[in-house]
Structure 1
Amino acid sequence: MIHAVILAGGSGTRLWPLSRRQLPKQFLRIEGERSLLEATLDRLQPVVDPANALIVTGTEHARGEAYQALHAFKTLLEPVGRNTAPAIALAAAWLSRGGDDPMLVVLPADHVIRDRPAFHDALRRAVEAAEEGALVTFGIRPTAPETGYGYIQAVTDGTAVAPVQRFTEKPDLATAEGFLAEGNYWWNSGMFVWRASSILAEVERHLPEVHEVLQRIRRDWDASATADPQPAVEAHFAQMPSISIDYGVLERSDRVRLVPCDIGWSDVGSWDAVHDLAEQDDRGNALQGNALAIDCDNTLLHGNGRLVAAVGVRDLCVVETADAILIAPRGQTQRVREVVDELTRRDASECRLHRTVQRPWGSYTVLEESPGYKMKRIAVSPGASLSLQRHQHRSEHWIVVAGTATVTRGDDVFTVAPNESTYIPIGQRHRLENRGKIPLQIIEVQVGEYLEEDDIERFEDVYDR
C-alpha cells in the first residue's frame, strides 16, 4: 500500500499579507477554488488514495485557524517546528508501527503542479525505484538560473532514474547560470518517495539524535493503551534537533536517486510566482479579486475586499487585505520576509492573524479597537460552541443580531434572541453556544485594561485547546 505524507507545517511568510503565521499559504486558495493542501491531495489520485494520506502539521494550525481545513484528515501534530527530517521520521515511524513497511510519497502541501499525467508518470517511476530500496527525489528541469532553489546534480537523459551526485543549496547567480549551461542540474522540488524502512534506516545512520528521540516516542506508543499518537509526541518531540531531510540525510546517503520531471511545478514561493501562475491579460497583468488596471503592464493586483485600482504602473505587485497592503516591484517580492521579520520584532498582530480570524466553532472579525475597548463580530456555526472560559482583565457585552444564543453564565443557562443582549462580568465563567440550525451572529464589545486573546482561561473545550 502507498501512503502519502503531506508536510503542512510551514509559516508561509513569503506570501504575506495573504498568508499569516496562524493561517499560512497551504490552507489558502491561491489558484482556483481549492486550497493548496486540497489540490495536493486531489492530484495524488488515482496513484494514491487520499484516504491513505497523513498530514504532518503544527498544533497551532490544527487547533486554531486551520481546524476546518484539517479536521477531516488523519494528522500528526508537531508541538514545535523542527524542520523536515524530524517530521518525516515521525510520520514514517507512525505508519510503520505493527511491523508494516509502507511505501511513502512525501509532498509539501503548498506546491502547484499543472501537468497531472506527467506527475503520475514520474510518481510511478519513483515508486519502482523505491521498491529497490532507493531514496527517490523529484528533480525539476530548470527554466532559469533561480537562486532561491536548491540544485541536484545527476546525469540522466531526462527520463531515466539516475544516482544523485551532489546537492547545492541556493547558489549565487553566476553558479546557477553555470549549472544551466552544464545541463546536468535539476531544481530540488522537496518531493520524495521511499519505503518507511529505508528512510528510517538512513535517519538512524546519519541522524542519531533524531533516531534517539524517535525511539522514545515509539516506546511510548507501544506502551500506550490508546491509538492516539499525540501524547508521546507532546512529551518528546521538542527534544528533536531542527534539521532538514536534505541536509541531514540525502546529502550524506549513497542511496539517493533522482527522477527527472517536467510537470508544470511551482513552489508558489513569492508573489512573482503567483503572477506567473495566474491568468494574464494581453499586457501581462494578473488581476485577482476586486481589481482594476488601466494602462498597466506586467503587474499583479490582488484584492480581497476593497477595490484595488492602478493607473500607469509597470512591474508591480499590489496585494490588499483588510488590515494590510503590500506594494513591491516585480523581482523583489522575496523581500517580503523582511517585512514579516520587522512585524515579528514589533510583535504586531498583522504577521500572525487576519482581521477575520477562523476558529473551530466559526470566526470573529475585529471591527474596531482602541485602548480600553475592542468591538468584534462573532459568527458561531450551527451546533458549535465556544469553550467554557473566563477572563481576568475584561468584561464582555453581547448583542445578538442573527440566530439564537445559548449562554452559560456562572450557574445560569439561558437564551438570547435577536435584538437582545447580555453582559459577562470580569472573572465570570461563561460559554456561548449555537444550538440552532442557522449561523449565530453577535456583536461583542470588550471593555478592560487588557484585551488580547491570551486572556482566556479554559475549563472545558471540545476542540482540545
Structure 2
Amino acid sequence: MNRSIVPVILAGGQGTRLWPMSRAARPKQFLPLLGTISLFQQTLRRVSDPARYTAPLVVTNAEYRFIVAEQAAECDTPVSAIMLEPVARNTAVAIAAAAVQAQALYGHDALLHVLPSDHEVDANDGYWTALDHAALAAREGRLVTFGVQPTAPETGFGYIKSDARVGAGAASVQRFVEKPNSDVAQTMLEDGGYFWNSGMFVIGAASFLQECQSLAPETLDAARVAVLRARQDLDFLRLEEAAFTRAPNISVDYAVFEKTNKADVVAVDFAWSDLGSWDAVWKSSARDPCGNLSKGPVTLSGVANSLVISDHAHVAVSGLEDVSVIATDDAVYVGRLSGAQKVGEMVKHLRNGQDTANLTENHRTAYRPWGGYSSVLNGDRFQVKRLFVKPGKKLSLQKHHHRAEHWIVVRGTAEVTLDGSVTVLSENQSIYLPLGCVHRLANPGKIELELIEVQTGSYLGEDDIIRIEDEFGRA
C-alpha cells in the first residue's frame, strides 16, 4: 500500500472579496498578501516534504495555467499534474476529478489531502498531529474534514457540530451549520462543541468516489469522463469540456459531506484563516499599538483599528477608526473594516457598469507566461505600455491588422524579429514595427528586459493579434 499522501490543491477560485487587489484575472491565491510569496506558493511549500507527500495535483481554471506553472517553478516545487477546468463548477467535481486522476497515478488506495490555495495556515506541531489523525481515519474509510476551534462569533464561516476534541483524533460529524447570523454564532461559541468548517479534507480516493457514486452520481460521471477524455497540453492536463460542463455547480459539502454517514472531523486550534475578507486579513496579521495594519507607501495619523494597503500611490489617512483603505494603481476602495463582507456587493455593482466592469476583471498590469505588460497611457488612436520579458523568454510570432508599434528598450537586451530579419537592441535603442508586419520579441539576456511600447492605429484591442508561432501553445 502506498502510504504517501497526495496533496490536491484547489486553485481555481475567482473570488473578488479582496477587491481591488484580487480580481478575476489574478485572484487572491496568486497575490503576496501576507509576505513575499503568494498564498498559493505558501500552500505548495506546506506540502513539499517528500517523506510525507507525493508531488501535488493542482486543479485550476484554464485561465490561470501559466500563473500556476510560473509560481510553482519559482518555489522549485514539482507537481504531478496541473488539471485545467474549462469552466467553473465549484469544488465537488474538482475534487472528484482529482481523485480519479490520483488513482490513475498512485493507485486505487490513494489518500488525498485537499487544500484550498488561498488560506493562511500555521503549520505547527498541532497541524501535523491533526493530519496524522485525519490520515488514520481516512485509511479506515472515513471522509475527514478539519474543524477549527472558534475564537470569535464569526458569521463568515460555516460551522460543524461534533464531540471532537483538539488533539484527540477524529470524531463523527453530528451536523453542518450554514453561515449563521451574529446571535446564532455567539450562542454556538458559548455552548461549545462547534467548529469552523475549514474546507480542508483528508479522504481516500476510493471511499470518496464510492460516496459520490451513491450521493452525487452526476458529479462522478462528469469527473470520470472529463479525466478519461482529457488531453495533454504542454505541461497541463485539459479536462474535457463537454463532460466537465455537465457537472452540477455544487460544493463538495453540499454534494457529499452533508449527506454521507462517513463524515468525521478532526478538531484543531492552530491559527487558520480563509482570508475571505479584508477584516480577515487584518485579524491574521501583526498590528501596531493602535491596532492598525499597513502595507506599502502609507502614512497614518490619529488612525486606529484600521487596514491601509497601497501597492502604488502614497496613501495618507488621518483621524479615522475602523476603516479599510485599499489602493492599487487604477482603483481605491474605502469602507468600514467591520463591514468588509460588503465588498462583494460593491464588486457586483461595478461588474454591472459598462465603464467599471473591467475593474473587476483585470489589473492595469497583466501577467503572461513570458512576463507581462502595464498600461501607462491611453488616448485617441494611441496607447503606451511598459513591457517586461523574463530572461530566455519570447513572445509569439505575430502580426496586427490595425496597429503599428514602436519599441524603445529601457533595460536589458531585446532580440527583435521583423519580417524574417533579426535585430539585437540594447538600452536606449528603438525599432519601428509597421502595420501588418510579422514580428517577435525575445529576451536573450540574463536580466529582465524592459521596454516602452507605443501603439498607434484605428483599433488597439488585445484581440488584434494573429499568432503564427507560440511556445506556449496559443497559436
Q: What TM-score do the two structures reach when normalised by structure 1?
A: 0.93
1:104 aligns with 2:106: no
- Taking the aligned partners of 2:95 and 2:130, their CA distance within structure 1 comes to 21
Assess if the C-alpha contact under 8 Å between 2:84 and 2:238 holds in 1: no
For the structure 1 residues 156 and 85, does the alpha-carbon distance in structure 2 shift closer, same or farther, using more than 3 Å as the test? same
- Taking the aligned partners of 1:438 and 1:227, their CA distance within structure 2 comes to 25
Residue equivalent to 2:292: 285
Shift of 1:86: 0.8
* DSSP 3-state at the match of 1:156: coil
1:337 aligns with 2:340: no
Assess if the C-alpha contact under 8 Å between 2:29 and 2:40 holds in 1: yes
* DSSP 3-state at the match of 1:187: strand
Q: Counterparts in 2 of 1:26-45, with a 5 A limit? A: 26-44=29-47
Q: Counterparts in 2 of 1:48-63, with a 5 A limit? A: 49=52, 52-63=55-66
Residue equivalent to 1:193: 202
Residue equivalent to 2:436: 427
Assess if the C-alpha contact under 8 Å between 1:3 and 1:54 holds in 2: yes
* DSSP 3-state at the match of 1:14: coil
- Taking the aligned partners of 1:238 and 1:50, their CA distance within structure 2 comes to 31
Residue equivalent to 2:408: 399
- Taking the aligned partners of 1:431 and 1:49, their CA distance within structure 2 comes to 45
Assess if the C-alpha contact under 8 Å between 2:82 and 2:235 holds in 1: no
1:17 aligns with 2:20: yes
Residue equivalent to 1:7: 10
Residue equivalent to 2:364: 355
* DSSP 3-state at the match of 1:127: helix
- Taking the aligned partners of 2:323 and 2:98, their CA distance within structure 1 comes to 41
Cα deviation code 1:42-88 (max 9, x no counterpart): 2345486565211111110113x555214553311112111001110
For the structure 1 residues 238 and 424, does the alpha-carbon distance in structure 2 shift closer, same or farther, using more than 3 Å as the test? farther
* DSSP 3-state at the match of 2:348: helix
For the structure 1 residues 133 and 50, does the alpha-carbon distance in structure 2 shift closer, same or farther, using more than 3 Å as the test? closer
1:167 aligns with 2:176: yes
Residue equivalent to 1:177: 186
Assess if the C-alpha contact under 8 Å between 2:405 and 2:456 holds in 1: yes
For the structure 1 residues 438 and 181, does the alpha-carbon distance in structure 2 shift closer, same or farther, using more than 3 Å as the test? closer
Assess if the C-alpha contact under 8 Å between 1:382 and 1:437 holds in 2: yes
Shift of 1:14: 0.9
Which stretch has the larger CA shift, 296-305 or 97-106?
97-106
Assess if the C-alpha contact under 8 Å between 2:305 and 2:322 holds in 1: yes
Aligned letter for 1:31?
L
For the structure 1 residues 26 and 39, does the alpha-carbon distance in structure 2 shift closer, same or farther, using more than 3 Å as the test? same
Residue equivalent to 2:144: 136
For the structure 1 residues 234 and 459, does the alpha-carbon distance in structure 2 shift closer, same or farther, using more than 3 Å as the test? farther
1:314 aligns with 2:321: yes
- Taking the aligned partners of 1:174 and 1:401, their CA distance within structure 2 comes to 59
- Taking the aligned partners of 2:422 and 2:145, their CA distance within structure 1 comes to 58
For the structure 1 residues 226 and 110, does the alpha-carbon distance in structure 2 shift closer, same or farther, using more than 3 Å as the test? closer
- Taking the aligned partners of 1:408 and 1:259, their CA distance within structure 2 comes to 59
Cα deviation code 1:285-330 (max 9, x no counterpart): 1121211211211111112132211111111111111111111112
* DSSP 3-state at the match of 2:147: strand
Cα deviation code 1:205-252 (max 9, x no counterpart): 11111222233234436xx89997735534532232211000011111
Shift of 1:192: 0.3
- Taking the aligned partners of 1:315 and 1:226, their CA distance within structure 2 comes to 48
Residue equivalent to 2:473: 464
Residue equivalent to 1:247: 254
* DSSP 3-state at the match of 2:17: helix
Which stretch has the larger CA shift, 229-238 or 432-441?
229-238
- Taking the aligned partners of 2:286 and 2:190, their CA distance within structure 1 comes to 30
Residue equivalent to 1:82: 89
- Taking the aligned partners of 2:234 and 2:402, their CA distance within structure 1 comes to 40
For the structure 1 residues 12 and 232, does the alpha-carbon distance in structure 2 shift closer, same or farther, using more than 3 Å as the test? closer
* DSSP 3-state at the match of 1:198: helix
Shift of 1:258: 0.7
Assess if the C-alpha contact under 8 Å between 1:130 and 1:193 holds in 2: yes
- Taking the aligned partners of 2:11 and 2:436, their CA distance within structure 1 comes to 37
For the structure 1 residues 332 and 112, does the alpha-carbon distance in structure 2 shift closer, same or farther, using more than 3 Å as the test? same
Assess if the C-alpha contact under 8 Å between 2:9 and 2:59 holds in 1: yes
- Taking the aligned partners of 2:328 and 2:420, their CA distance within structure 1 comes to 41
- Taking the aligned partners of 1:34 and 1:12, their CA distance within structure 2 comes to 19
Question: Which structure 1 residue ranges, 4+ long, deviate > 6 Å from structure 2?
Answer: 224-229
- Taking the aligned partners of 1:103 and 1:455, their CA distance within structure 2 comes to 47
CA RMSD of the aligned region, Å? 2.2
Q: How many residues align?
A: 462
1:69 aligns with 2:78: no
Assess if the C-alpha contact under 8 Å between 1:42 and 1:50 holds in 2: no
- Taking the aligned partners of 1:453 and 1:353, their CA distance within structure 2 comes to 13
- Taking the aligned partners of 2:112 and 2:411, their CA distance within structure 1 comes to 48
* DSSP 3-state at the match of 2:333: strand
Aligned letter for 1:274?
V
For the structure 1 residues 392 and 451, does the alpha-carbon distance in structure 2 shift closer, same or farther, using more than 3 Å as the test? same
- Taking the aligned partners of 1:361 and 1:84, their CA distance within structure 2 comes to 30
* DSSP 3-state at the match of 1:319: strand
Q: What TM-score do the two structures reach when normalised by structure 2?
A: 0.91
User: Percent of counterpart pairs with the same letter?
Assistant: 43
Aligned letter for 1:199?
F
Residue equivalent to 1:122: 130
* DSSP 3-state at the match of 2:451: strand
Unmatched segments (≥5 aa) in structure 2? none
Assess if the C-alpha contact under 8 Å between 2:23 and 2:363 holds in 1: yes
- Taking the aligned partners of 1:86 and 1:19, their CA distance within structure 2 comes to 24
Residue equivalent to 1:390: 399
- Taking the aligned partners of 1:232 and 1:246, their CA distance within structure 2 comes to 22
